[in-house]
Structure 1
Amino acid sequence: MTSLYRNTSYLMSITERPPVMFVRGAGSYLYDEAGLAYLDWMQGWAVNCLGHAPDIVVAALARQASTLITASPAFHNLPAIELATLLTRHSALDQVFLCNTGAEANEGAIKLARKWGQLHKNGAFEVISFDKAFHGRTIAMMSASGKPGWDTYFPPQVPGFPKAQLNDLDSVKALIGPQTVAIMLEPIQGEGGVNPASLAFMRGLRALCDEHKLLLILDEIQTGCGRTGTLFAYEQYGIEPDIMTLGKGLGGGVPIAALLAKQHCSVFQPGDQGGTFAGNPLTAAVGTAVLNALLAPGFLENVELRGQQLHDGLSQISHDLALGEVRGAGLLLALELGAHIGPQVVDAARRNGLLLNAPRPHSLRFMPALNSTEREIRDGLRLLRQTLEHVLCGQATAQV
């Protein structure tokens, strides 16, 4: 690679990036230019559900790329129909709109809810969302999100998204009015710090929606596609959403997302929704391959086992080092650090060969590949312990 292509100033500055340059990925590992391996417990923020460059994704891309990459959303294609069929057969939803990103799927969910409100609820349009929620980076989805400070980024915000508090049913009830059409939330707030909705709260929301004729929208972009140990997180609550969005893991590293709805609220008509690359056969073929892998016998059981192994290991580390709570489900977990040292831990872990994410300065988020092995989880816990001991020792020395 010549020096001409090492000048990062040509890229817009949208995030702080470390100096390391990754050139290859395989399974649970990323490799830099020097050939050093890093155990990746970010996996593209839960995107690479089968790890880096999985054979089934490579094969699906090659096979479909040699046949039909895209035709137009104006025509049917077989991979899109196959993926939509799989998604509906294995969920409680009835129809699917395939798109490209989670934010796009969530935008579609809001549009669908508002269209339903026009038809069945006197034009109601407000969607109750939650403090610390994250639904994407479009203007509307930033308004729907409850990430601190986002209301000042690109004002004015899009109206119609009053904020309640997660696991506080009374805060939701207080916001329901004649303009309310839906309630939207993540079963586990990923970017907010891996904050799970409680069983009682989720069931309470379903009851509220039924009582007030509202739609329940579940953003399963991060929790869906096996991440929490079941194909979809809603299955663990014993309830069904009216609308659900998927993304991230659905493509195993390839950009694809989906908006799913029950028949009674699937009210789009021609012209209401679309997108140049919506439902293109290339990514739909990959989505089908990934979903079939997740549905293979024993796959989700391994997610549960590795999730329990990771949870137990994190709990032991927390106990030994006097840290905080371990929370989440499956292979979407967080560890409270008890101090704002998250960025320091992430930096030290990378230097130690482990890639982590700190969604909040006081917590770490863990999103390993869903097909991680027992040994890989054990190795990651060892590297994490070493890193935390090093950082905490430095903190203690600095205070002396």
Structure 2
Amino acid sequence: MGHCHPKLVDALTEQANKLWHLSNVMTNEPALKLARRLVELTFADRVFFCNSGAEANEAAFKLARKHASSKYGAHKNQIISFFNAFHGRTLFTVSVGGQAKYTQGFEPLPGGITHLPYNDVEALRAAVGEQTCAIVLEPMQGEGGLTPATPEFIRAARELCDRFNALLIFDEVQTGNGRSGTLYAYEQFGVVPDVLTTAKGIGGGFPLGAMLAKADAAASLAFGTHGSTYGGNALACAVGLASIEEIASPSLLANVNARSEQLREGILASARRHGLFSGVRGMGLLLGAPLVDAWKGRAKDIVNAGMRHGVWTLVAGPDVLRLAPPLNITEADLAEGLRRLDLAVAELAAAGPGGG
């Protein structure tokens, strides 16, 4: 929601004059209020607070192993994840993530992790069994190229988890908190996970992460089996509550969806004019513009050209330009951003694929 959103600044300032942090021997009112609100707004019965997306995923993966071990035995420990996934930078989370570049040099890696092609239902059906404790997926792969899951893939994951008593974990660190056009992306698939991880937008830029879970799964991570010194601190949770209340408002989510259409149309218009993009994909205000074959590997060059024209974009791998503007961006500001991006793309197009 941009920098220095007044409601978040007010929440931060008010809480800063009361209480920042407590020993986790005790809880605090902002943490309880935020947890209750998240339960009201989602499928979850329980919430665990931490400081980042990596920590939220670390907690989820530990929960999956502990849940399976406690209820079914130590043999049930396989975590299924997907190539090109990204779940964080701790040793466990980079191991579950399906990108070798993040694990090279850190071996030996934790075992019991199987990687499969994303959106491949048959491969998933062949891999899941009594040994599986969890299927972990992003409803839309972020670092992996802004590729949304197919409804068939999501439904298959849910059905297999139900059949084999495994947990379905959705990593919504990128897709959550209004970014996808709904509060959380799972709402658009008609499938409810057992565990959901979130961070980034939940704190409006203030360090905050959360693991949301159904009661049955959450019960396996009993007091003392996991924790966080700063997770759930009063300052972060006060900001988080202000952030969630703003994000969950119908007017802000309506803006996300309206600006999503505007952004899609702008990228497609640029593709027709200059021929660098093959189309646009994604959800809400997390969109990717894949490059045509002649320009593959050059996504970073578009980012750099955009910076020269005063617009900031990202990459999602070397072949996809990633676009993630603020959820409350105005129609006029988005139009100006598209205008500047078009200038950058035109500059590159004039030089040609072999240009500097």
- What amino acid is the match of 2:10? A
**What residue is the counterpart of 1:43 in the other structure?**
none
CA distance 1:59–1:163, change in 2 (3 Å): same
User: Please, what TM-score do these two structures have when normalized by structure 1?
Assistant: 0.85
**What residue is the counterpart of 1:303 in the other structure?**
256
User: Please, what TM-score do these two structures have when normalized by structure 2?
Assistant: 0.96
Cα deviation, residue 397, structure 1? 7.2
**What residue is the counterpart of 2:56 in the other structure?**
105
Cα deviations by residue, 1:178-217 (Å, 9 ceiling, x for unpaired): 3210100100111111111011111111111112221100
Separation of aligned partners in 1, 2:202 and 2:306? 28
**What residue is the counterpart of 1:355 in the other structure?**
312
- What amino acid is the match of 2:204? G
**What residue is the counterpart of 1:181 in the other structure?**
133
Separation of aligned partners in 1, 2:143 and 2:47? 25
- What amino acid is the match of 1:304? N
Contact 1:103 1:141 in 2 (8 A): yes
**What residue is the counterpart of 1:38 in the other structure?**
none
Residue from 324, 340, 351 that aligns with 2:278 = 324
- What amino acid is the match of 1:285? A
CA distance 1:129–1:397, change in 2 (3 Å): closer
Separation of aligned partners in 2, 1:235 and 1:112? 23
**Percent of aligned positions with the same letter in both sequences?**
41
Residue from 339, 346, 350 that aligns with 1:389 = 346
Separation of aligned partners in 2, 1:387 and 1:168? 36
Residue from 47, 71, 82 that aligns with 1:120 = 71
**What residue is the counterpart of 1:28 in the other structure?**
none
**What residue is the counterpart of 1:7 in the other structure?**
none
Structure 1 residue 273 and structure 2 residue 226: aligned? Answer: yes
**What residue is the counterpart of 2:327 in the other structure?**
370
Cα deviation, residue 356, structure 1? 1.0
Separation of aligned partners in 2, 1:232 and 1:398? 41
Cα deviation, residue 171, structure 1? 1.2
**What residue is the counterpart of 2:28 in the other structure?**
77
Cα deviations by residue, 1:4-51 (Å, 9 ceiling, x for unpaired): xxxxxxxxxxxxxxxxxxxxxxxxxxxxxxxxxxxxxxxxxxxxxx11
**What residue is the counterpart of 1:282 in the other structure?**
235
Secondary structure of 1:222 counterpart: coil
Gaps of 5+ in 2: none
**What residue is the counterpart of 1:6 in the other structure?**
none
Residue from 122, 143, 146 that aligns with 1:194 = 146
Cα deviation, residue 342, structure 1? 1.2
CA distance 1:398–1:114, change in 2 (3 Å): closer
**What residue is the counterpart of 2:175 in the other structure?**
223
> Aligned pair count?
350
Contact 2:348 2:355 in 1 (8 A): no
**Structure 1 range deviating more: 276-285 or 264-273:** 264-273
Separation of aligned partners in 1, 2:91 and 2:354? 45
Contact 1:106 1:141 in 2 (8 A): yes
CA distance 1:374–1:98, change in 2 (3 Å): same
Separation of aligned partners in 2, 1:69 and 1:396? 53
- What amino acid is the match of 2:131? Q
Contact 1:121 1:181 in 2 (8 A): no
Separation of aligned partners in 2, 1:279 and 1:176? 34
Cα deviation, residue 384, structure 1? 0.9
Cα deviation, residue 295, structure 1? 2.0
**What residue is the counterpart of 2:92 in the other structure?**
140
Contact 1:186 1:219 in 2 (8 A): yes
Deviation above 6 Å: which 4+ runs of structure 1?
none
Separation of aligned partners in 1, 2:153 and 2:115? 16
CA distance 1:385–1:265, change in 2 (3 Å): same
Cα deviation, residue 121, structure 1? 2.2
**What residue is the counterpart of 2:201 in the other structure?**
249
